[in-house]
Structure 1
Amino acid sequence: MSTRITQRELETYLWGAAIVLRGLIDAGDYKQYIFPLVFLKRISDVYDEEHAAALAVYEDETLADLPENHRFAIPDGCHWDDIRAVTHNIGTELLHAMRAIEKANPDTLPGVFGDGDWGNKDLLPDSTLADLIEHFSTKTLTIANLPEDELGNGYEYLIKKFADDSGHTAQEFYTNRTLVHLMTMMLEPQPGESVYDPTCGTGGMLISTAAELKRQGKEWRNLRLYGQELNYGTSAIARMNLFLHGITDGHIAHGDTLSRPAFLSAKGNLETFDVVLANPPYSIKAWNRALFARDPYGRNVWGVPPQGRADYAFFQHIAKSLDPETGRAAILFPHGVLFRREEAALREALVKSDLIECVLGLGAGLFYNSPMEAVVVTLRATKPAEHKGKVLFINAVNEVAREQAQSFLRDSHQQKILDAYRGFADIDHFAAVATLDQIAEKGSSLAIPLYVDGVNATDDGEKVDVEEAVASWRSAASASDAAIADVLALVRAEVTA
């Protein structure tokens, strides 16, 4: 007889699988082996649960196996129990079962198990896989034992634990959940709306919108969730994550959002969305700038970003992805996007577009495993009349808590920021409203100390990120060198004349 699984038991059970793998494979690779096994175990146990419920009604095994009684099809020989019975070439059999399940569920599960190297016995010998399978077989993951919310929470716990274990690379697939919750509350997603994350990682931002509606007692199942993720294994985890949270209308695409955006309208234009939440990769250098310069989707309306920093390419992609009436976005960026000289022309065009609603400066440590201070920029396609031609700046650098080497936002921090955001008014030493003309007078810089009294440069993060500071210095030095060269060339020309 199976029993209800507590959250603590679930966390111990999930992390126990990582202990089996420790020392055998790199910590950064845990996720591409453990998550698929959890998912296979879950859908197998739920299939059995559905079968038992149907059998109680029909009293016939054949009828109980009909597809309409099951959320997912599991072909013969591909159930967890079938895999558990295998003793040789376990990885090969696992891979066969996963691919067969994907093929049997073409509308929902293609590619969901990722691309782990299951057949590599040097990496995963039969003994290790047998230990993993036996470990996961110790609990029954039915919905009765483990409702979707609770399994989803356990999944998020495991994502964070893997992030902790794998170090700085974690930023690509994990964003501080208290910050995600704040960004979600700022945008106030509503039932039936479309939500998009162009760099979705494991899908946490998308899931947060459903969780927020659920928390408010509103209908959440009719949210339409869309995400794209460059890393194939991470995109597979995102799809599993949505399923395990009970979200069926989720669309996760694999690929490069800048060079090959996945969501297009019937006319071949970018699809537009009501809500966009994003934590784009920070200042990537390896991107196709030449293609973006002649972008077929018209995303380069503000200009073409420098090769060394793709931030404004993502910025423009998000702006272009907003529904022209309802569209609103919250984007997590490093502070440099507010003031870097090499992006001055792009920033001037951004300001003139009157899309920026709020620039929110946050405390240190909310970027995963980084001391750098973060900034959230919100965009709104159609501002209220009283907000048009204005931008709200909030200095929340002190609204952060730190415990056990982790930074996070308490409920009180979130509420203070939300009140200021919704109030859209000056608050001494905390918030200020500036007109577009006032911003233009400051060279279109969006650096928070220029607008909020009592904020110094270190609060704005300029001195926290050494790479930013060096890049700005090099940019300025390069500009000076170019200007001196121009003057010398002019002098030489006059002398020879």
Structure 2
Amino acid sequence: MKSKVKTKDINSVVWNACDTFRGVIDPSQYKDYILVMLFLKYVSDVYSEKHEDYLKKYNGDKERADRAMQLERFVVPSNSHFNFLYDSRNEDNIGELIDIGLADLEESNREKLTSADGAGIFRNISFNSSNLGDKKEKNARLKNLLQDFVKLDLTPSHLEGKDIIGDAYEFLIANFASDAGKKAGEFYTPAGVSTLLAELTKSKSGARIYDPTCGSASLLIKAAQEAEDNNFSLYGQEANGSTWALAVMNMFLHGFDNASIRWGDTLRNPKHIEGDALMKFDTVVANPPFSLDKWGQDELEDDKFSRFSRGLPPKSKGDWAFISHMIESAYEGTGKVGVVVPHGVLFRGSAEGRIRKKVIEDNLLDAVIGLPANLFFGTGIPAAILIFNKGKQNRKETLFIDASDHYVSGKNQNELLPEHIERIVLTYEDFKADKLSPGIIEEKYSYVATYKELQENEFNLNIPRYVDTFEEEAEIDITAVQQEIDTLEKELAKVQEEMRGYLKKLEL
């Protein structure tokens, strides 16, 4: 009996396939080719297995089987199927054949693989691009790519578990992020941070879950996986076309076929609208771009959605623009918001200080959590998580946690381990359950601040103002140090005397 395909088998084959593009194009680009090919191989194998099932069911009646396939998850035209492209691998125009196959796959699945304005998920990628080399080199690379992927059997009956395709996709995105350097932060939130945010904002049954800057959707998927049950709906928006395409594919590979992932600039043109207002959500999570310049201030002074009623953020720092959008997108009275921010958001003054003051006065801020440095791809700076709660009611306190020293050093980035995440989450859950009184909760780790304290600190949220992590230096015993110096000087004199003796012997 043929052994089941495991996640590590897929990871190994696909990661080796990356060698086709190494040194040819930027790592932040070749992920698109690899992940598109993985998606194509998957939908082709699923289609083939299902078609075989129908042929058996209808005693070999291909016409009936073909009709039945029109109602399946994906329709795969014959020229879009991976096997057709593999059989065509020696053709002189193989790049063009792949592009045509992808376009036809899009057209046959318009509702699933195109945005509301008709943009397809493959429109930003071309396997016939001159970026892959001259014609001879390009054809050789694409042939190698097809030969690598033909080794993968992704038919559902041969997979060890229903989640392994999604798990492999996440593994690959994480590894591409490691290679992509500064650009990685545009499409990937580290797994530990995603898990932490998802657990801090754990969604209840029936929740609408939303990420307005969803990247490749790893954070949104984690929020779904941490939800109370499988009764939820997913929504996301992403400005970068290539990254939006990855998010759509990621959702399908994880089995979230009904997710609504839209393409566009969330601040300038939010796509999740109900009537003339922003759609509302139970849970809103995001890792927006840090301190985004030119985020659209000039165009949004008179924002029709009234997202900036607490103040307009500065032109060169978009952090509070994203936060304001998230807060306004959460249901009144119940909505939760979790967002990753640079530390400057906690204490910068002027317009940001005024917005921060209003948010705190409106009793929306639940928790401020300081994270370790070097967790994120593309930047070594430490970040923080802010939790906003539109259902705090009479509770006016805010929890501060300094988790900056709680991590394990990784090869390229530091990592949060399950025990680090659990400690933060348990502290926050105790706070939500009113088990923590104002003041120090745990020395050098957590503190509950009253509204009056925040007011006295002029609404500055800099964590060291609340969590004292100062370590006193050990007292120096001057007498002992002097004795040690005296001993060392005597030993040095003895060695110098011996050296002089050796030198005199050498002179003879």
User: What is aligned with 2:51?
Assistant: 51
Partner SS for 2:315? coil
Shift, 1:3, TM fit: 4.4
Relative to structure 1, the CA distance from residue 96 to residue 29 in structure 2 (aligned partners, 3 Å threshold; closer, same or farther) is same
Task: Spell out the pairing of 1:324-343 with structure 2 (5 A cutoff).
Answer: 324-342=332-350, 343=352
Superposed displacement of residue 364, structure 1: 1.3
Q: Distance in 2 between matches of 1:120 and 1:395?
A: 48
**2:41 corresponds to which residue?**
41
Q: Contact (CA 8 Å) 2:10, 2:152: kept in 1 or not?
A: no
CA distance in 2, matches of 1:405, 1:120: 32
Q: Name the residue aligned to 1:7.
A: 7
One-letter amino acid of the structure 1 residue matched with residue 455 of structure 2: A
1:248 CA displacement: 1.3
Contact 2:51 2:69 in 1 (8 A): no
Alignment of 1:347-358 (within 5 A): 347-358=356-367
- Root-mean-square deviation over aligned CA pairs: 1.7
1:469 aligns to what?
none
* 156-165 vs 73-82, which moves further: 73-82
C-alpha displacement at 1:354, in angstroms?
Answer: 1.0
1:102 is matched with which residue: 103, 106, 110? 106
Letter in 2 for 1:438: E
Cα offsets for 1:388-417 (capped at 9, x unmatched): 222111111122111334311112111111
Following superposition, which runs of at least 4 residues in structure 1 exceed 6 angstroms of deviation? none
* Larger CA deviation: 152-161 vs 395-404: 395-404
- 2:331 aligned partner: 323
**Which structure 2 segments of 5+ residues have no match?**
115-119, 472-508
Residue 449 (1) aligns with residue 464 (2): yes
Tell me: CA distance 1:122–1:164, structure 2 relative to 1, closer, same or farther (3 Å): closer
Letter paired with 2:151: T
Q: How does 1:224-373 map to 2 (within 5 A)?
A: 224-266=233-275, 268-342=276-350, 343-373=352-382
Which segment drifts farther, 148-157 or 40-49? 148-157
2:147 maps to a residue whose letter is E
- What is the aligned partner in structure 1 of residue 198 from structure 2? 184
Match for 1:56: what amino acid? K
Q: Distance in 1 between matches of 2:131 and 2:379?
A: 34
Instruction: Indicate if the aligned counterparts of 2:186 and 2:289 stay in contact, CA closer than 8 A.
Output: yes
Q: Which residue of 394, 416, 423 maps to 1:409?
A: 416
Partner of 1:473: none
| AA matched with 1:62 | E
Contact 1:36 1:114 survives alignment (8 Å): no
User: For 1:121 and 1:3, how far apart are their aligned partners in 2?
Assistant: 40
SS at match of 1:363: coil
For the 8 Å contact 2:178–2:377, the answer to whether it is kept is: no
How many Å separate the matches in 1 of 2:162 and 2:13? 16
8 Å Cα contact 2:14/2:148 also seen in 1: no
- Aligned 8 A contact 1:187 1:330 in 2: yes
Q: CA deviation at 1:99?
A: 1.3
The Cα shift of 1:205 comes to 0.9
In 1, Cα distance between equivalents of 2:359 and 2:205 = 30
- Amino acid paired to 2:287: N
Question: Aligned partners of 2:207 and 2:87: how far apart in 1?
Answer: 45
Give the aligned residue type for 2:155.
Answer: T
Q: Does 1:381 find its partner at 2:396?
A: no
What code does the residue aligned with 2:108 have?
A: A
Q: Where does the alignment leave 5 or more consecutive residues of structure 1 unmatched?
A: 457-497
Query: What amino acid is the match of 2:184?
Result: A
**Where does residue 20 of structure 1 map in the other structure?**
20
Which stretch shifts more, 396-405 or 91-100? 396-405
- Superposed CA deviations along residues 362-386 of structure 1, whole A, max 9, x for unmatched, are 111222243211100001111154x
Task: Name the CA distance, whole Å, in 2 between partners of 1:409 and 1:374.
Answer: 13
Identity of aligned residues (%): 34
Match of 2:156 among 110, 130, 143: 143
Asked if 2 retains the 8 angstrom alpha-carbon contact of 1:51 and 1:69, the reply is no
Alpha-carbon distance in structure 1 between the residues aligned to 2:381 and 2:129: 39
Any conservation in 1 of the 2:174–2:188 contact (CA below 8 Å)? yes
Q: C-alpha displacement at 1:55, in angstroms? A: 2.1
8 Å CA contact 2:25–2:131 kept in 1: the answer is no
Contact 2:369 2:385 in 1 (8 A): yes
In the alignment, which of 198, 202, 219 is matched to residue 205 of structure 1? 219
Supply the AA of the counterpart residue of 2:362: S
Query: One-letter code of the match for 1:97?
Result: G
Alignment partner for residue 394 of structure 1, among 398, 401, 409? 401
CA distance in 1, matches of 2:378, 2:25: 22
1:369 and 1:172 map into 2 onto residues whose CA distance is 9
Q: Counterpart of 1:364 in 2: which secondary structure? A: coil
- The amino acid of 1:291's aligned partner reads E
Deviation at 1:67, TM superposition (A): 3.1
SS at match of 2:452: helix
User: In the alignment, which residue of structure 2 is the partner of 1:62?
Assistant: 63
Cross-structure match for 1:84? 86
Alignment of 1:167 with 2:181, yes or no, is yes
Bigger radius of gyration among the two: 2
The TM-score with structure 1 as length reference comes to 0.87
